[in-house]
Amino acid sequence: MKPDPTREHPAETWLVTVLHDAPEARQCAARACDGLVRRFWSQIEFDVTWWTLEELEGPEAAEAGRRLQKTDIVVVALAEPRQLRAGVLSRLEHWLQQREGREGALIALCAGREEPLHRVEPTLNAMLHQLARRTGLDYLNQAPECLPGRLPDSIEGYTRRAEENTDVMRKILSTSTTPPWPY
């Protein structure tokens, strides 16, 4: 696909790390990521990396861990949800705790099934939900319809954000403060 020359470059880039157990799970995650890109392409650029669950226990594990420490969205896509090993969950938790409380999301997808993970495999769903909670991530069973803006990392970032005069702010400032009802 050729880049659209009229498109403004998004203000921020979000890192997405996809973990999957099988090719059909990767395809499921790709559809979810494509949906995110289609919905938010004008606001956010997505930098997506892909890892098999086996790679989290192999020589590539250190590189995957570094990526997970910086990621904004973790997608766990499973074709066989009963096969997620405890060692993988333990490593995942270790790496995600290194995110130092930054906002983000963990999205659990169940490939090839109409029902979400909490209906297919409630025990694993609960484990992933607790993992997300312990590591400060929102937990979702599908790609979100909306995304919050990223919170600033510093006091300077908050100051810049507060000083922005957006369309919403201009509308608020130009609106009459007289209430529509008599006192």
Residue 112 lies in a domain: yes
Residue 175 lies in a domain: no
Q: Considering the chain, what percentage of its residues have pLDDT values greater than 90?
A: 40
Residue 67 lies in a domain: yes
CATH number of residue 81's parent domain = 3.40.50.360
For 5-53, write each residue's pLDDT tens digit.
Answer: 555 666 788 999 999 999 999 999 999 999 888 888 888 899 999 999 9
For 149-164, write each residue's pLDDT tens digit.
Answer: 555 555 665 566 556 6
For 73-82, write each residue's pLDDT tens digit.
Answer: 999 999 887 7
Residue 164 lies in a domain: no
Residue 154 lies in a domain: no
Name the domain count of the chain: 1
Residue-range definition of the domain harbouring residue 124: 12-140
Q: Dihedral of CA 55/134/102/149: which sign?
A: positive
Residue 72 lies in a domain: yes
Residue 68 lies in a domain: yes
**Of 46 and 174, which is predicted with more confidence?**
46
Chain centroid, CA 31 distance in Å: 14
Q: Residue 129's pLDDT is what?
A: 92
- Tell me the DSSP string of 85-148: -HHHHHHHHHHHHTTTT---EEEEEETT-SS-HHHH-HHHHHHHHHHHHHTT-EEESS--S--P
Name the residue type at position 111: A
Residue 159 lies in a domain: no
